[in-house]
Structure 1
Amino acid sequence: MAQFRPAGLSDEDSDSDDYGFYEKPPKSYFHTQQNQRKTVENKLQDAIINGNLKEVEIIVLNDLNDNVNLKLDSGWTTLMHACFHAQDRIVEFLLNKGADANLHADSVTPIMATCSNSSANNDAIYSIITNLLDRNCILNIGDKYGQTPLMRAISSGRVAVVQKLLEKDVNIEMRDQQGWTALFWAVHHNQPEILEMLIAHGARLTEVDRSSRTPSDIALSHDYQNIIEIMNKHLKIDDTEETNKNVYLNQLRSWYDYYPGVKTGEKLDYEGEIPNLLYGMNCERLGPLIDSSTIDLRTFLLMEEDDMIKLGIDMPFERQRLKYGLRNFHLRGWKLNAVAGLYARKVDSYSVLDCLTTLGTHLQQIYVLEATLQYTLREYIKIQNQIKFEPPDSPLIIKMKNAAKKMLTNINSVRREIKNMRSVLTRISKSNPQPADLIRAKSTQEIAMGYITDALVVCSLVIFAYHARGYITNILKK
């Protein structure tokens, strides 16, 4: 039966007796509880701001039931408040009681809150950072705007903190939402000392943000002359090194360089290409780690998450970035120009070194295509149960068929180029001498035969000279 309120009463009347029907508690209950919690947080903040460690201990024990990781109404924990207000003694107390150094609110971690403080004492900030690092706080992580603890420390001008973070091998190439790296932040906030430190740790100088601006453009827009001088100095050095590098690469190299491992009789590995791929994936920080594992290019291109963990790539976002980069690499489209060689050059004559170089690059492309096929097969096996129940005309099936056709087209392009190369090599093999680096060292038997041949030639010459002398003598006597 429907319930109707008697005439003359409204929902706002405080003497209404319908709470039993709707089973609602008194309205004042929620307000009382919320006001109590606000009072606790306000009281806690006042104690932290004043640096009253004893008062904080009492509030944590009595009001928070000794739960140092309890989130207050603001979403912040007691540790986050203490970090933000740079109360190093209170931070140490909370960490010793088991406060989580990585518990965050709205994507802000305690170390981010600490680095955001630009007015506190440097020693206090440095002490807090050291304590948080000792508790394995996460450094390579951004807030909802992509700003990392390193970026916040730079904006606050904390030189010692930046140096400390760099010693912890922090990723200096992470980007925020506008595409800025740590170097952009140092330029924008006019931090020349920090800028020099970042450059010394290998920060890229010529990156662009989402608005296609370089760090130099940012410095010019602010008219930071000291920053501009530093950038110009290092950019000039980089240009010189790049020029020298290009001169070296343009020099004639041995054909062996295009067949890595052929001298030692081992399988081709192409491990020298891995740093280039890491740079393109924005994962070059992993270079030393992968280099120490001595994996070849094929193993690298087929890495899965378990393999990355075994290599020591501990941070989930780094593994995710690497997996995304590998996927994009295998999904790339190859045009005929990417595999075209001597045939596409349309010239009359080719040197043997030209042929060997082109064949070497094709061999590498076939190596990569084989890895891509293995990657595709593996991913297909992962989703075959899903495909099994798909109708023949489903978008997924059509998409996979189109991808397979493109891959076959790429493979056929390589085969066609190899066939053309074979005919070119046949045509020029008779008219070109053997290159110097293809002449093999003589064997012991060949050396001995050479000595015998030389001896026979000398003997023949001696006999010929003897008979010629006798002949000339007889002529003179006559």
Structure 2
Amino acid sequence: MAQFRPAGLSDDDSDSDDYGFYEKPSRDYFIQENPKKTLEVKLQDAIINANIDEVENIVTYDLNNRVNLKLDSGWTPLMHACFHAHDKIVDFLLERGADPNLHADSVTPIMAVCSNSSANNDTIYHVICSLIENKCLLNVGDKYGQTPLMRAISSGRVAVVQKLLDEGVNIEMRDQQGWTAVFWAAHHNQPEILELLIAHKARLTEVDKYSRTPIEIAMSHDYQNIVDILNKYLKTDEELEETKSIVSLNSQMRSWHDYYPGVTTEDRLTYVCEIPHLLYGMSCESLGTLIESSGMNLREFLLMEEDKMINLGIEMPYERQRLKIGLKKFHLRGWRLNAVAGLYARKFENYSVLDCLTALGTHMQQVYILEATLQYALRDYNRNKNQIKFEPPDSPLILRMKTGTKKLVSQINNLRSEIKNMKGILVKISKANPPPADLIKEKPLFEVALGYVTDVLVICSIGALIYHSRNYLARVTSK
């Protein structure tokens, strides 16, 4: 039995043999049994065949301008019109209120038109402009992370790519394999588009999830023209080494305070710098700007719910779903003992102050994250406790919860043990070593003045003692 069909095909066009030994019912059978389905089929056929008059009649008189309905294929009329690049039908549907951001299986109308590689360039460009004028979303990816820009690159639409770049599209968004627009241009041998991306400051030294660079992708396909362009704009080896050394120098710890963000300003720890890394791991890096502008800390991010996502401006449901799944997987991951063990597990004889500060800073972040995970679990438990109440004691759910609780308690005890060990080590270090220079505080002015007075009194006392001693010796000698 047929399990899958390409997007855009209706059930009537599939090769399913669900009807067994009976003859498959004809299309006319469905038309007689379901007049509404007939209307959808007629509209879909009219769009595919570019019959603008029939489309107008069906939309105006039969559907009363309901242009956002889903057809047999699951696509909207606008998605079909965009995929087949029928610009007049696109304009008509948009005039009647078609939503340019309605999607099916995470594919939007602009993604559909950017995937068309056979239509005339001018027609495709006109459809793109119409969608942009109607406020379609550009910085959005499908379930594979592919954006309209990436699809336009794969289709070789230079003018469309230029239009998207002029609209300020994000050229550093990544798909599931970590490819940016530059990777797509290199993979599909699009030198002119690659030049456009470079002119808009695209990064050329990024790596994908397999640690490959764009130039390595081009070399694997033997696209010498792409390799030449990348080599022309890439820095020389000496310049790259110099840049790496500068970056390395800037990223070094300047003081022990850097391990404790916020300690110098007496603010609460936020760990905001970790959010971009988590977004990248969840294939949601396109949401970085929205989350950064909101000013949320790491804890708020790890506990974010759908209503908060909507308020931030994450409009596409599948983007919210991808983020929610990513957060859930983050909280469900396991913790090993060596993930929380520090200096005690290393069993060194001597530890520097820097070693201790590094381990303490790491553990503070781990405790911060674990607190958010506990809050996440408690929130879900409160939502489902009524259902859990009626579970039998030996149900799989109760057993899983007991097992998870034991593991959680074990990890908390590991943290407590590590804190105790760290405390003992720090006590030994504090007794055997002088305090770090940046912990020596300047004395208050009155203490300094008191010290000066004390020094003067001591000096005067010593002077008087010496004077009287000399006189005593002189008298003894004279006798």
Which of the five TM-score ranges fits, normalised by the shorter chain?
Answer: 0.7 to 0.9
Could you tell me which runs of 5 or more consecutive residues in structure 2 were left unpaired when the two chains were aligned: 1-27
TM-score by length of 1: 0.75
Give the match for residue 364 of structure 1: 365
The alpha-carbon deviation at position 119 of structure 1 amounts to 5.3
Query: For structure 1, which segment, 158-167 or 449-458, has the greater mean C-alpha deviation from structure 2 after superposition?
Result: 449-458
SS in 2 for 1:282: coil
**CA contact 1:172–1:181 (8 Å) conserved in 2:** yes
Q: 1:193 to 1:438 in 2, by over 3 A?
A: farther
Q: Percent identity?
A: 60
Q: 1:59 aligned to 2:51? A: no
Partner SS, residue 323 of structure 1: helix
CA distance in 2, matches of 1:93, 1:463: 109
CA-CA distance at 1:426 after TM superposition: 2.1
Which deviates the most, 125-134 or 431-440? Answer: 125-134
Q: Secondary structure at the match of 2:280?
A: helix
Shift of 1:175: 3.0
Offset of 1:295 from its aligned partner? 2.0
The 8 Å contact of residues 85 and 113 in structure 2, kept in 1 or not, is answered as yes
Structure-2 residue corresponding to 1:225: 224
Query: In structure 2, do the counterparts of structure 1 residues 131 and 265 end up closer, same or farther at CA, with 3 Å as the change threshold?
Result: same
Amino acid at match of 2:54: I
Partner of 2:417: 416
> Retained in 1: the 8 A contact 2:276–2:285?
yes
Q: Which amino acid in structure 1 is aligned with residue 135 of structure 2?
A: N
Residue pair 2:111, 2:148 contacting (<8 A) in 1 also: yes
Return the offset for 1:155.
1.8
CA distance in 1: counterparts of 2:368 and 2:47, whole angstroms = 64
The aligned residue for residue 162 of structure 1 is 161
List aligned pairs for 1:32-431, cutoff 5 A: 56=52, 58-62=53-57, 65-66=60-61, 67=63, 69=67, 79=78, 83-84=82-83, 86=85, 88=87, 91-102=90-101, 109-118=108-117, 120=119, 122-139=121-138, 148-166=147-165, 167-170=167-170, 173-175=173-175, 182-195=181-194, 198=197, 200-201=201-202, 205-208=206-209, 215-231=214-230, 234=234, 241-249=243-251, 251-431=252-432
Distance 1:458 1:164 in 2: 85
> What is the SS of the residue equivalent to 2:361?
helix
Q: Work out whether residues 47 and 89 of structure 2, in 8 Å CA contact, stay in contact via their aligned partners in 1.
A: no
Q: 1:111–1:137: 8 Å Cα contact kept in structure 2?
A: yes
Is the alpha carbon distance of 1:363 and 1:147 closer, same or farther for their aligned partners in structure 2, counting shifts above 3 Å?
closer
Distance 1:179 1:457 in 2: 74
1:190 Cα offset (Å): 0.9
Tell me the alpha carbon deviations over residues 78-136 of structure 1, each in whole angstroms, 9 at most, x when there is no partner: 65565456554553344223334345678764323432344555444333212112223
Query: Matched residues in 2 for 1:205 and 1:47: separation?
Result: 43
Partners of 2:430 and 2:422 in 1: how far apart? Answer: 12
Q: Which runs of 5+ in 1 are unaligned?
A: 1-25, 49-55
Alpha-carbon displacement from aligned partner over 1:167-222 (angstroms, at most 9, x marks no partner): 3545854537x88654443222211343355563458731147xx97644432232
Is contact 1:205–1:231 with CA below 8 Å preserved after alignment?
A: no
CA distance in 2, matches of 1:371, 1:348: 35
Deviations 1:218-238 (A, max 9, x none): 322321113224555549677
Structure 1 residues 241 and 444 mapped into 2: Cα distance closer, same or farther (>3 Å)? same
Preserved contact between residue 271 and residue 295 of structure 1 (Cα < 8 Å): yes
Q: Contact conserved, 1:112 with 1:152, CA < 8 A, in 2?
A: yes
Greater shift, 111-120 or 100-109, is seen at 100-109
By how many angstroms is 1:416 displaced?
A: 1.0
Inter-partner Cα distance in structure 2 for 1:299 and 1:142? 24
Letter in 1 for 2:97: G
Structure-2 separation of matches of 1:145 and 1:246: 34
CA pair 152-353 structure 1, distance change in 2 beyond 3 A: closer
Contact map agreement 1:304 1:323 (CA 8 A) in 2 = yes
Inter-CA distance 193–450: structure 2 relative to 1 (3 Å threshold): farther
Distance 1:230 1:473 in 2: 99
Matched to 1:175, the amino acid is D
> Greater shift after overlay, 385-394 or 213-222?
213-222
SS of 1:429's equivalent in the other structure is: helix
Distance 2:263 2:38 in 1: 77
Secondary structure, counterpart of 1:441 in structure 2: coil
Amino acid paired to 1:301? L
Mapped partners of 1:27, 1:296: distance in 2? 59
1:338 is paired with a residue whose SS is helix
Deviation readout 1:265-290 (Å, 9 max, x if unpaired): 33222223223322332323322322
Q: What's the offset of the Cα at 1:466?
A: 7.5
* Residues 21-45 of structure 1, C-alpha deviations (whole Å, 9 max, x = no match): xxxxx989869x9999999877776
Alpha carbons of 1:196 and 1:472: their partners in 2 closer, same or farther (altered >3 Å)?
farther
Q: Retained in 1: the 8 A contact 2:82–2:113?
A: yes
- Which has the greater radius of gyration? 1
Q: Cα distance 1:170–1:272, how it changes in 2: closer, same or farther (>3 A)? A: closer
Q: Describe the shift of the 1:140–1:398 C-alpha distance in structure 2 as closer, same or farther (beyond 3 A).
A: farther
Classify 1:301/1:41 alpha carbon distance in 2 versus 1 (closer, same or farther; 3 Å). Answer: closer
Q: Tell me the amino acid that sits aligned with residue 100 of structure 2.
A: A
CA contact (8 A) 2:173 2:181 kept: yes
TM-score (norm 2): 0.75
Relative to structure 1, is the Cα distance of residues 36 and 290 closer, same or farther in structure 2, using a 3 angstrom cutoff? closer
Paired positions, count = 440
Question: Distance between the aligned counterparts of 1:376 and 1:95, measured in 2?
Answer: 45
Cα distance per residue 1:134-159 (max 9 Å; x no partner)? 22334466678875432321122223
